[in-house]
Copies of this chain bind each other. A is one copy, B any other.
Amino acid sequence: MNGAESMLQTLVNNGVEVCFANPGTSEMHMVAAMGKSDQIRSILCLFEGVCSGAADGYGRMAGKPACTLLHLGPGLSNASANLHNAKKAGSPVINLVGDHATYHKQFNAPLTSDILSLARPVSDWLQVASSAAELPGSAADAVYAANAKPGQVATLIVPADAAWDSSINPLATQTLPAIPKVDNQAITGAARLLTNPKSTILFLGNMALTERALKFADQIVQATGVKLLSDTFIPRLARGEGRCSVERLGYFAEQAEEQVGGINQWVMVGTKAPVAFFAYPGKSSELYPEGSTLHTLAQMNEDAEDALQRLVIELDASSFEPRKKVKNKPEPGIGELNPVSLANSFAHYLPRDAIVVDEGATAGGLCGPFSESAERHDWLGLTGGSIGYGLPAAIGAAIACPARKVVCIHGDGGAMYTIQSLWTMARENLDICVVILANRKYQILQLELSRVGAESVNDKTLEMMDLGNPDLNFVELAKGMGVSASRAETAEQFNEQYAAAMKKSGPQLIEAVMP
């Protein structure tokens, strides 16, 4: 058994079932090992950013890692923007990055580069397997690291000779890392703040956004009267009918200030105190008033559900019945297709147990609030701010949950970063409906331009944020990659196309032309 085969079997023995692959020559033995195995599903992507974004989406929905298969430094670089998002999301991901044979590196062949330096910023765990004998052990360590809660990006660099040389036997199933529980002081400290007379925010993120965690949070809110908020960008949130509600902190500092102004006690669960996404001249980076009392109930990697449950007991709040949302869908939009009508239609037709992958940016900003009490669903957000995560993440979610409809709401500008995703959706016949919000500009930048105080807004400047001239035609792009597609220019057209897509299975793209 060569290194690649023993590595792969070790991964399989530890629960890895899926590989999102874009291999090259230096990965051929790993490709051959996957070809021989019937225990791993290999999914070809036409660009490495699709692989990494898909692994992110898969990790969020499956709760365990898929692996990516990447070709040396450039392959890793192409994957890195979405690895950045995955790392910020706390998604479990294992990257297998092929490298030149150990003895070949000294010759500085064209594809040689410093992979470690490229990998470090996008990896929580990073190792080079320097021989075939080491490779199964490194694979076991990688899968262990990736499974540390909430999840980590583990990158294993595999020199070609470590893959092709003879190796030891695969390693057996190992016990995965336990999730740390918070100590009692974290609970009692939180209880003290929540019950003193000052106004307080209970601020949730990451693992505190499960259906169960939200029930506990709601009991706490009922018992104490504090305000409940979540991070702006969340890896995964349980929403809709039957779930308890949580308000999202606004993206723009001005919105956030309105939500939290004057509240200077913060209890964080699964996240840290909120900061502005970008800096703006003369504005504070922190979104909480100076001198606020900050208390962390649970760090991002700690057991937030357990902490909230213990806090419920500490506060004697068990008797409060969690206020589950009653289904209350908006009517479908009518007339002009715009952010309001689109969000109404989106929410109205959203099927039960859908997975919503949100990279809707400005034009999609109302889809969240309008679907608050729609059919129950999971919501995946853009955690690292690097656009082009949505289409790939939809692939990963669909692979992880083949019985559920995936709806991907995507800005047109962001969609072009990883547009190659559509081909993999077609090839794997994934049950994904992509809604492209085609306002034909980088609208967020036009908004941000004035907010950062860059005063010169002439035509030449605006052109750098304009996606017209020529207009992108997403219907043709989709057809070019084998995905059936249509264009909606009115709310009625959108309703017809979107309702039909919700009823049938398989990939579908709707280009929603917006003002």
Could you tell me which A residues sit within 8 Å of B by CB distance? 21, 23-26, 28-29, 31-36, 42, 44, 46-47, 49, 73-75, 77-78, 80-81, 84-85, 88, 100-101, 103-104, 107-111, 113-115, 117-118, 120-122, 160-161, 164, 233, 272, 275-279, 281, 285-286, 383-386, 388, 413, 416-417, 419-420, 423, 426-427, 444-445, 448-449, 452-458, 460-467, 469-477, 479-482
Q: Which residue of B lies closest to A2 (CB)?
A: B454
A113 neighbours in B (Cβ, 8 Å):
84, 121-122
CB A350 to nearest CB in B, in angstroms, measures 26
Report the separation of the CA atoms of residues A88 and B72 in the bound assembly, to the nearest whole angstrom. Answer: 15
In angstroms, how far is the closest chain B Cβ from the Cβ of A40? 10
Q: In the complex, which residues of chain B have a beta carbon less than 8 angstroms from the beta carbon of A477?
A: 476-477, 480-481
Determine if B110 and A383 form an interchain contact, defined as CB atoms under 8 angstroms apart: yes
Say yes or no: A278 contacts B454, CB within 8 Å: no
Check B80–A423 contact: CB distance below 8 A: no
> CA separation between A424 and B384, bound complex, in Å?
27
> What B residues does A160 contact at CB under 8 A?
278-279, 452
Which of B36, B161, B449 touches A31 (beta carbons < 8 Å)?
B449
Pick the residue among B118, B281, B456, B471 that contacts A35 (CB under 8 A): B456
Q: Which B residues are in CB contact (< 8 Å) with A161?
A: 279, 281
What are the nearest 7 A-B pairs in CB distance?
Answer: A35-B461, A470-B482, A476-B480, A74-B386, A77-B80, A101-B279, A32-B454
Q: Report how far A24 CA is from B443 CA in the complex, Å.
A: 11
The residues of B that contact A111 with a CB separation of less than 8 Å are: 277-278, 384-386
In the complex, residue of chain B having the shortest beta-carbon distance to the beta carbon of A101: B279
Check A461–B34 contact: CB distance below 8 A: yes
Given that A120-B117, A449-B28, A453-B164 are known contacts, is A74 also in contact with B78, CB under 8 Å in the complex? no
Closest to A428 in B: B469
A420 and B419 contacting across the interface, CB-CB below 8 Å: yes
Q: Is the CB of B474 within 8 A of A480?
A: yes
- List 14 extra interface pairs beyond A104-B276, A473-B481, CB under 8 A: A23-B445, A23-B465, A28-B452, A31-B454, A32-B454, A46-B467, A103-B279, A114-B120, A115-B121, A118-B121, A164-B281, A472-B482, A476-B476, A477-B477
Instruction: Determine the distance from Cα of A336 to Cα of B121 in the docked complex, in whole angstroms.
Output: 50
Nearest-neighbor residue (CB-CB) of A81 within chain B: B74
The complex places the Cα of A104 from the Cα of B275 at a distance, in Å, of 9
Nearest-neighbor residue (CB-CB) of A453 within chain B: B164
- What are 18 inter-chain pairs, A to B, with CB distance below 8 A? A28-B445, A28-B448, A31-B465, A32-B456, A35-B458, A36-B461, A49-B78, A73-B80, A77-B80, A107-B286, A109-B285, A109-B385, A110-B383, A110-B384, A111-B385, A117-B121, A426-B470, A476-B477
Given contacts A420-B416, A463-B44, contact A25 B452 (CB under 8 A): yes
Given the complex of chains A and B, what is the CA–CA distance between A419 and B423 in angstroms? 13
Residues A110 and B385 in contact in the complex (CB < 8 Å), given A445-B25, A453-B164: yes
| CA–CA, A411 and B31, complex, Å | 21
Q: How far is the CA of A29 from the CA of B29 in the complex (A)?
A: 48
- Pairwise interchain contact B476-A384, C-beta atoms closer than 8 A: no
CB distance from A97 to the nearest CB of B (A): 13
| Pair A472/B114 contact, Cβ less than 8 Å | no
Residues in B with CB closer than 8 Å to A286 are 107
CB distance from A283 to the nearest CB of B (A): 10
Q: How far is the CA of A497 from the CA of B42 in the complex (A)?
A: 38
Measured CB to CB, the closest approach of chain B to A359, in angstroms, equals: 13
Residue of B nearest to A89 (CB): B110
Asked if residues B413 and A73 are in contact (CB atoms below 8 Å), the reply is no
* A42:B110 contact, CB within 8 angstroms: no
Q: Which of B31, B85, B383, B464 contacts A23 (CB 8 A)?
A: B464
**In the complex the two chains form, is A32's CB within 8 Å of B84's CB?**
no
Inter-chain contact A417/B78, CB cutoff 8 Å: yes
Report the minimum CB–CB distance from A430 to chain B (whole Å).
13
Return the contact of A464 from the options B42, B78, B277, B449 (Cβ within 8 A): B42
A25 to B25, CA, bound (A): 38
Rounded to whole angstroms, the CA-CA distance of A75 and B474 in the bound complex is 23
- In the bound complex, residues from chain B placing their C-beta under 8 Å from that of A417 are 46-47, 78, 420
